[in-house]
Amino acid sequence: MTNSTKSALKSDVRKGLSSPHARPWLAAAAQVPATFAAHQAWGNEPLVAMGMTLAAGALTAATWWAGKNTSEARRLHATLTTAAATGYLTVASFTDPLGDSQLTWLAIGGSALAASWNVRKVLRVNPDAAKGEGEETGILTKSLGKAKARLRGEPKVEPNKVTAKYQLAPGELTNADLGNRINQIASELGISPNSIRIQPDAENAAQGEMVFVPTDMLKTPTAWPGPSHPGGSITDPVQPGIYEDGAPAELWFPADQDSGRNATHFLTAGMNGSGKSAGVSIAVAEVLTRRDVIVWAVDPSKGKQTFAPFLPYLDWVEMTTAGGEAMIDALSPVITARADALGEHGYKNWTPDAYRQLGMPYMVVWIEEAAKFFREGTEMEGLVMEARSAGISVIISLQRPSATSMPTDVREQLGGVMCFGVKGGTTADMALPEDVRDAGARPEAWENRKPGYAYLVAPGVDEDRYATPLRTYYTDDQQIEAVLASVPRPAADPVTATAAGEAYAERTHYTDDTTREMPVHTDERAGQDEVLLERQINRDIDARLPSDDDGSGPSVEQLNADPDREIPPVSVSEVWAFAKPAPTPEKSPEEAYSELLAMLEEYRRDGLEHVGPKHFQPYGREGRIGRSRAWISARLNELADEEIHLAETDDAGVYTLLYPTLAAAS
């Protein structure tokens, strides 16, 4: 026999002995030397025999107890094997371990038990499943149905967190399909849908991880620990809250050339009571503690309820619709002037060095209740498209980012999202990217029952965190005021201040005592309303006039026509047609709104459960309401936001008709 043959034989023997199938047979054969050694040592010791008997019983009972989390068949098989092995060891040790009867029973019984474990081992292995082509492996069989999925290794178990790597059968199930079944998975496991997240493998679409967090660690709000980088730069991360694992949530506004991160605008969405304004307030308080940034803010609805602790520290703040429009209009020349100044000094984006060299701070523009401006026709498309390169980030905050609440072109430019609790899955789909929804983000599960809960999606944020819930810090006005009072504030640079024009120069200034502000007289407020009305009229005219871009605009002769010139006589040869009836004059907003409410009351009497614009279309501009379909849709959306007359549903443009109860007169 050659050396190579001997080596191969030794290798085969070694592999055979180490095989899982050989272990039961080795255990049975080991009984012979074990019983012989025990007989030689204790064969004449009755007390030892009694002790071994008790030990055999205890080990058998322990095997039964340890198998409580396995299948019943496996538990019974293991217990019987333990009882037989320990029983034979005890009897043979105190009789004759080499006797014919003992060896016969060992040969027959031991072989049967060893073979039974071999058979069990073989039946456990499904060759087709190992190739990804077989049946389910029993993982979440109810929620996954006939889908083919299996685990890749043992799940990783941590305190309040289980991570399970999975393998999908190629071509039969996708990560998106798995995400769409989160509600079913949660039902099968008896946990909240928000406790489950799907994290696809970036390099293999058939693999990923399921993360389960069964206990909500955000139930107790966390107090704001104060600014994370007081006196630092706006390029340092802003921390509005914490994730469920206790890690701080971080976001950024400016661009970062080193990491390739772009400057970012933010959408903050959430229904009434979801903690949206309070969450943004934490972020803005963080921003205001930085040395190289200024904030402009507008809230035409809640005003001081939102801005009270910030008033002395905001570079420009407006709390009326007219003032907000003036600020938004001023931003267009500001963007151009800042971009020109940065470009002249070789800056493609704003950087801290631009602040040091030019004295130009970064700008954050905070627009609360932005839907009110969009409904009035305020244009922000150019603002969000051009502002980032000029060192300006915009926060647009509203309840529902639907097409009736904000233009799609604006939504597409908002690279960051902080989505709080919303009403229904349709609104969640509008606010969050599709892949984040597929990964398990379910803000509709919170609605307004968990104020401060949110998802954060933005450049610079780890993508694995997109579908991880966070909760914004809790604070009060006194803490914000105390923090901001201790931090010096930069002023707007001359380029920004000059470009902002008269509206900026005449803005209201607030002192540290926010109850003392420059008064606005009645005639001044009337003037602001007139300016706002004039802007709205000009926008309506511009929208109705044909554009000159396609050559359809008025001709030079039309523009220079004499309004007092007599109309030339009509030729008798011209063909006349019957005139159409004069259009019904458009009703005032107040009259139309009253008619809308009256129709809702009529639909209540008719027992209608759901309404939408289609129920009012026949009575639109030419009918009873006397306004356009767009106007009707906007008013219905406002009524749904108030949740007095209407409530939103999961179907876009369909509302539940409510039955408000009027309070009795005192």
Binding residues for ATP: 270-277
Q: What is the DSSP letter of 505?
A: H
Contact 286, 267 (CB under 8 A): no
Put residue 275 in one of left, alpha, beta given phi > 0 → left and psi -120 to 50 → alpha.
left
| Dihedral in degrees, nearest 10, Cα atoms 342, 343, 346, 348 | 80
Q: Which amino acid is at 597?
A: L
Token pair recorded at residue 58: 């205890």
Closest CA to 165 of 148, 189, 149: 149
**Residues annotated as binding site?**
270-277
Give the CA distances from residue 22 to residues 15, 28, 558, in Å, rounded to whole numbers and listed in that order. 10, 10, 102
Neighbours of 561 (CB within 10 A): 11
**DSSP output for 530-598:** HHHHHHHHHHHHHHHSPPGGGT-SPPHHHHT--TTSPPPPPPTTSPP-PPPPPPPPPPPHHHHHHHHHH
Q: How far apart are CA 414 and CA 466, in angstroms?
A: 16
Token pair recorded at residue 474: 């809790």
Query: What are the b/e assignments for 348-361, b being 16+ CB within 10 Å?
Result: ebbbeebbeebebb
Query: What are the b/e assignments for 426-443, b being 16+ CB within 10 Å?
Result: bbbebbbeebbbbbbbbb
C-alpha distance across the termini of the chain, in Å: 113
Token pair recorded at residue 469: 């819930």
Give the CA distances from residue 559 to residues 315, 539, 551, in Å, rounded to whole numbers and listed in that order. 43, 19, 14
Contact 329, 370 (CB under 8 A): no
Q: How far apart are CA 522 and CA 446, in angstroms?
A: 43
Q: How far apart are CA 200 and CA 299, in angstroms?
A: 40
The runs of H, that is alpha helices, within 97-201 are 100-105, 111-124, 127-130, 141-144, 175-180, 182-189
Closest CA to 362 of 459, 281, 296: 296
Please report which helix (H) or strand (E) contains residue 46, including its range: helix 46-66
